Each structure stands twice: as C-alpha cells, then as structure tokens.
Amino acid sequence: MPGWLGSSIVVIISFFGRYYHYLYVNLIEREFGKYAVTNILFGLLTVGGMSLAVDVLQYPAKFSAPVVVGLLYVVKFAVFEKTGLIKR
C-alpha cells in the first residue's frame, strides 16, 4: 500500500473516530458540519503555524511543535464552546 493511501486512511479514521468518541462521552452536540469545519480549519492552522515557526522564524521544531499544537488545541476547544458545539 502506498504511503499516501495508508496515511489518508489513518487521518480519515481518526477524524471520524474522534467525532463519534466525543459524541459517546457527551462532549459535543450532534453537529457534524461545525465539527468538520473547525477541525479542518485548525488542521490548516497547525500546518501554517508550524511553517511560520520553523521556516520563517527559525525556531527549532522540537520547541515550536509543542507550543503551536498545544496552543491551537486549547483555542480549538474555545472555538467549540463559542460556536455552541460543546454540550452544557
């Protein structure tokens, strides 16, 4: 199996797996559109943030990766809350 295909399968399974896990533990409302848009947006922001930190600002990846990913993780759940995706 080519690497791109295997990697695509893993990304798709984890995308839907997280959605159904969040539903199972009653974390989010059943609104797949909001979930999908938010996660795709933050995936792109992660790539952009890493490119900015490593390529433009010349920070070492071992330091910038945890900062960028951690910060966007927290912001993503703040956006989930703001858009009404988090259950109350």
Task: List, for residues 24-83, the tens digit of each pLDDT value.
Answer: 999 999 999 999 999 999 999 999 999 999 999 999 989 999 999 999 999 998 999 999
Domains: count for the chain: 1
Q: Would you say the C-alpha torsion 74, 13, 86, 37 has a positive or negative sign?
A: positive
- Is 13 a member of any domain? yes
Query: What pTM did the predictor assign?
Result: 0.80
Confidence category of residue 87, pLDDT binned at 50, 70, 90? confident
Q: Would you say the C-alpha torsion 46, 63, 7, 24 has a positive or negative sign?
A: negative
User: What pLDDT does 12 receive?
Assistant: 95
Residue range of the domain that includes 60: 3-82
- Is 87 a member of any domain? no
What tokens does 81 get? 């809350």
- Is 42 a member of any domain? yes
- Is 69 a member of any domain? yes
- Is 8 a member of any domain? yes
pLDDT score of 3 more than 90: no
- Is 88 a member of any domain? no
Decide: 53 and 69 in contact? Cβ < 8 Å.
Answer: no
- Is 61 a member of any domain? yes
